[in-house]
Structure 1
Amino acid sequence: MKEYNQVTLPNYTYVFNFESDFIHQKTRTWMQDNWTLGFYYVGAYMVFIFGGQYLMQNRPRFELRGVLCLWNTILGTFSIIGACRTVPEFLHTLTHHGLYHSVCVPSFIEQDRVSGFWTWMFVLSKLPELGDTVFIVLRKQPLIFLHWYHHITVLLYSWFSYSEYTSSARWFIVMNYCVHSIMYSYFALRAAGYAPPRQIAMVITSLQLLQMVVGCAINLWAHQLLQKNIECHVTPFNVKLSIAMYFSYFVLFARFFYTTYVLKSNKKKNISASTAEYPLMKSKIH
């Protein structure tokens, strides 16, 4: 593994004070001491989901369109900023230090304060993102297993991985920021009353599927490196956990894509065909 003093960093146009003042050691110590709090948050989240759905059964749904638009706009803006601040380090690492470094050396936290700060923000953001479900419950919309399973596992895995400074997280964080930039912006437009083309929703789900494929590939490669006793700052347990998580995401998102875009599209075609045939059949009868 290359020594850290050989690591070069991207040239940022501007670095904010809160980024330059970021001290990663303090945040890691806090997460090592407190990452298990995530289980309590998840427990409260589950109680809210099923308790909230029960309480809303015989109540009128809340509209909350304005609040939902603001919520998605905030998360979309946050994701865009996070992507803009982490992508430069990611690309610089790939082009100047190679694939191995990008997967196995956590310099994005320990060396780069800009990327380190936004990595910390990414990890913390998984807690308020649980608020997405609040709107679904209060607006009495369908809550699928994929939604809450994804929120729970990402929160727990992100917090646990930060306590270990999992180096492969560089890939996961950048991909997530980029996909969420598009996804939350799309949701904000929908909440504001606009109707973006259906193809955009398909693109977002496709990007999520691609994210899972890349996540599995990165984890499998890291696992192979560990088996060959090649130094990589990822624990064997973390790799196995991450592979299981990303693979389960891929299966669930693939199923969602099929049922939402393929099956529904076929049903619409069949309905359209039946509607077109009906006048012709009627004319034959008469």
Structure 2
Amino acid sequence: MLRELASNIFKLHDYLLKRTDGRVRDYPLMQSPIEMTSILLAYVFFSVYVGPRLMANRKPFHLKTTMIVYNFSMVALNAYIVCEFMLSGWGTTYSWRCDLCDPSSSPQALRMIRVAWIFYFSKYIELLDTVFFVLRKKHSQITFLHVFHHSFMPWTWWWGITLTPVGGMGSFHALVNAVVHVIMYFYYGLSAAGPRFQKYLWWKKYLTAIQLIQFVLVSVHISQYYFMEKCDYQVPVWIHLIWIYGTFFFLLFSNFWVQAYIKGKRPPVTKDKPKQNGVTNDDVTTVTNGKQLENGMAHHYTNGKILPGKVKEV
């Protein structure tokens, strides 16, 4: 039985190698699902088990400078991703309707392949969000949703850019996500810079609205597929999955918006009181990826209950 299982695994591995888009095969982490799966499993093991135990009897690290550099570096990276997505199709040849994947080796198609891979690889860089939580002993922010999101996102994107042509209307959500990341990491960079920058963070509550707009744009754009007379998009399964994702999170965020801003079930806002390491006592009430941010940390908002969560996004 074990021999048969091993044989089936090797057959699947060979099948994946044959199916891998030749244009992306030579990029790092694209040769086999074993490498990326091993990295993500190690990340989960470190986040849930190894990291908290290593830090149990140690003092938390003060990473103010590191956090500033990291956040603003992520701003630059995501801004570059946005520009490349625009130049490789979304701002040049795409109609923003039934845009098909380009399976050719034209310069523009290869440029789309490259930016899709960079977006994919950026999700591995974002695993540092959790590493910083561990080193700073912010264990309450390392929730199931946080770890699941950070591990599942790059895992699914590997399959997307390996087995199917890259680009077309299925890549729109990545463009929008990168735009949102520019805004969010910019906010977190200013926040980490210290109390003297707090006066520039008056727009923190609008992060919730930005997230809602993100999912509206993604859902509306992908919904066009269902109303067109004909759209020969090569991988319709991704259309369905993106629509489910965008609609689900829009409903989740809308529920929070109603509870927090219409029904007024949010904490009262207090005056800013600077604390050490650039952290303030001001009540931050916003949502990122289904999470409510208060007093510098996030809380999951589910079924009317607020549970501890993480500060950073999607």
The answer, yes or no, to whether TM exceeds 0.5 is: yes
Q: How does 1:49-128 map to 2 (within 5 A)?
A: 49-51=47-49, 52-88=51-87, 89-94=89-94, 97-101=95-99, 104-106=100-102, 111-112=107-108, 113-128=110-125
Residue deviations 1:145-189, cap 9 Å, x none? 443332223212222111112433331221122111111111111
SS at match of 2:93: helix
**Within 2, Cα distance between the matches of 1:204 and 1:128?**
22
Partner letter of residue 169 of structure 1? G
What percent of counterpart residues are identical?
24
Q: How far off is 1:254 after superposition?
A: 4.9
Residue deviations 1:131-151, cap 9 Å, x none? 111111221223244433322
**Within 1, Cα distance between the matches of 2:234 and 2:199?**
42
**Within 2, Cα distance between the matches of 1:81 and 1:122?**
10
Structure with max Cα Rg: 1
Q: How does 1:59-208 map to 2 (within 5 A)?
A: 59-88=58-87, 89-94=89-94, 97-101=95-99, 104-106=100-102, 111-112=107-108, 113-141=110-138, 142-143=140-141, 144-163=143-162, 164-166=164-166, 167-193=168-194, 194-195=197-198, 199-208=202-211
Q: CA contact under 8 A between 2:24 and 2:113: conserved in structure 1? A: no
SS at match of 1:41: helix
Q: Give the TM-score normalised by the residue count of structure 1.
A: 0.68
Partner letter of residue 71 of structure 2? N
Structure with more strand by fraction: 2
Aligned residues: 241
Q: How far off is 1:78 after superposition?
A: 0.8
Structure with more helix by fraction: 1
Which residue of structure 2 lines up, in the alignment, with residue 273 of structure 1? none
**Within 2, Cα distance between the matches of 1:221 and 1:159?**
26
Q: CA contact under 8 A between 1:65 and 1:192: conserved in structure 2? A: yes
Partner letter of residue 212 of structure 1? F
Q: Give the TM-score normalised by the residue count of structure 2.
A: 0.63
Which residue of structure 1 lines up, in the alignment, with residue 18 of structure 2? none
Partner letter of residue 206 of structure 1? A
User: Larger relative CO (CA 8 A, sep 6+): 1 or 2?
Assistant: 1
Q: Which moved more, 1:142-151 or 1:47-56?
A: 142-151
Q: Which moved more, 1:63-72 or 1:158-167?
A: 158-167
Q: How far off is 1:57 after superposition?
A: 4.1
Partner letter of residue 246 of structure 2? Y
Give the superposed CA RMSD.
3.5
Q: CA contact under 8 A between 1:49 and 1:133: conserved in structure 2? A: yes
**Within 2, Cα distance between the matches of 1:263 and 1:54?**
41
> What are the ranges of 5 or more consecutive residues in structure 1 without an aligned counterpart?
1-23, 271-286
SS at match of 1:267: coil
> What are the ranges of 5 or more consecutive residues in structure 2 without an aligned counterpart?
1-20, 271-314
Which residue of structure 1 lines up, in the alignment, with residue 234 of structure 2? 233
Q: CA contact under 8 A between 1:56 and 1:140: conserved in structure 2? A: yes
